[in-house]
């Protein structure tokens, strides 16, 4: 399967990632059968989140056994330093690992949440500390909804994240404002996240 640079992480991710939101409410047997297919297909990038129900827990046995085969990304929706760090440690425990390859601020689209994240005692401080301690190798930001490109622009101006995740599809790009904001974000990312240019 073809691999491409993922953001500015230096990792070459398979073109297809495994989105582990699918494990939100499944038993371990179901998760195990799915992960067998993930392994067989050669997918090397798993994307999960603390808010994805049982996902991290179901992935845990596979991460413990195959940690070196996966670029592992998880996310937090906590906006204070204290809560974000507490959630990261819970994620590490569930995932049976001592580090995350990519820790992401999830759904950072609400103005109040954005202000809290970047204020004193906000989640950004947790992210910086996690990277300094080796708990997270890389840092990113994600989101959905029509406002997400505009919010990601603000986030990249505030901090040099190594990846941004947001939807890109025909329906959304027909929205004039989303299209405009997405392309502005892309131009900024090309400058700040160089592999985006590849």
Q: How far is 163 from 185, CA to CA, in rounded Å?
A: 12
Q: How far is 39 from 14, CA to CA, in rounded Å?
A: 12
Q: How far is 164 from 152, CA to CA, in rounded Å?
A: 7
Contact predicate 110/147, CB 8 Å: no
Q: How far is 149 from 84, CA to CA, in rounded Å?
A: 23
* Catalytic residue ranges: 52
Listed residue (89, 19, 87, 83) closest to 55, CA to CA: 19
Cβ-proximal residues to 184 (8 Å cutoff; 6+ apart), any chain: 149, 153
Tokens 């845990």 found at:
60
């Amino acid at each position: 399967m073809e691999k491409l640079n993922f953001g500015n992480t230096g990792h070459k991710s398979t073109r297809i990632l495994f989105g582990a939101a699918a494990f939100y409410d499944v038993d371990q047997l179901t998760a195990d059968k799915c992960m067998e297919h993930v392994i067989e297909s050669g997918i090397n990038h798993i994307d999960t989140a603390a808010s994805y129900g049982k996902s991290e827990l179901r992935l845990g046995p596979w991460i413990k056994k195959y940690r070196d085969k996966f670029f592992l990304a998880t996310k937090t929706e906590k906006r204070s330093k204290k809560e974000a760090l507490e959630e990261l440690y819970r994620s590490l425990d569930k995932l049976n690992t001592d580090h995350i390859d990519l820790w992401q601020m999830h759904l950072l689209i609400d103005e109040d949440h954005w202000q809290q994240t970047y204020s004193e005692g906000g989640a950004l401080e947790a992210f910086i500390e996690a990277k300094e301690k080796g708990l997270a190798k890389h840092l990113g930001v994600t989101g959905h909804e029509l406002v997400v490109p505009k919010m990601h622009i603000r986030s990249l101006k505030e901090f040099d994240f190594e990846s941004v995740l947001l939807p890109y599809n025909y329906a959304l790009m027909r929205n004039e404002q989303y299209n405009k904001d997405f392309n502005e974000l892309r131009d900024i990312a090309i400058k700040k996240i160089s592999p985006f240019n590849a």
